[in-house]
Amino acid sequence: MESSSNRIDLAEAIGAIRDDILVATNRNAGSSLRFELGEIHMEFSVEIRRDQRAKGGVKAWVVDTSVEGGSAATSVQRVSFNLKPKDSVTGGGWDIGNDDEGSISHFGDAGGAHA
Domain membership of residue 23 (yes or no) is yes
Which pTM does this prediction carry?
Answer: 0.62
Strands 76-83 and 40-50, bridge-based pairing: antiparallel
In-domain check, residue 83: yes
110 located within any domain: no
Inside any domain, residue 86: yes
Q: Is 43 inside any structural domain?
A: yes
Nearest Cα to 81, choosing from 19, 14, 12? 14
pLDDT tens digit at each of 115 positions of the chain = 455 557 888 889 999 999 998 888 888 777 888 888 889 999 999 888 876 665 667 788 898 876 555 444 567 888 999 988 888 888 888 777 756 666 677 666 655 554 4
Which residues form the domain of 24? 4-96
Give how many domains the chain has, as a whole number: 1
User: Is the residue at 107 inside a domain?
Assistant: no
